[in-house]
């Protein structure tokens, strides 16, 4: 379920239904198109910057400080 929230289908990756055939189809699409792989890879990298350690640690620290204040 977490992957479905992190990956934007067709933008930063390909979401597919369960099953080997569906996965094989998605992989074949990526394997045959270097431009698409590069484009999706860059989009995924950009989308994940909000989860960079500096950002996450600040969020955790803010949450812990808020809990301690209560």
> pLDDT tens digits for 7-48?
999 999 999 999 999 999 999 999 999 999 999 999 999 999
pLDDT of residue 3: 85
pLDDT for residue 33? 97
End-to-end CA distance of the chain: 32
pTM given for the model: 0.72
Tens digit of each residue's pLDDT (9 = 90 or more) over 49-70: 988 998 899 899 999 999 999 8
In this structure, the number of other CB atoms found within 10 A of the CB of residue 28 comes to: 10
Distances in Å between the Cα of 37 and the Cα atoms of 23, 31, 42, 44, 63 are: 15, 8, 9, 10, 37
Contact partners, residue 27, CB within 8 Å, separation at least 6: none
């Amino acid at each position: 379920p977490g992957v479905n929230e992190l990956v934007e289908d067709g933008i930063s990756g390909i979401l597919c239904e369960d099953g080997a055939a569906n996965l094989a189809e998605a992989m074949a699409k990526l394997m045959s198109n270097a431009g698409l792989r590069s484009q999706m890879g860059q989009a995924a990298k950009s989308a994940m910057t909000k989860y960079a350690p500096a950002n996450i640690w600040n969020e955790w620290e803010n949450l812990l400080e808020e809990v301690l204040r209560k």
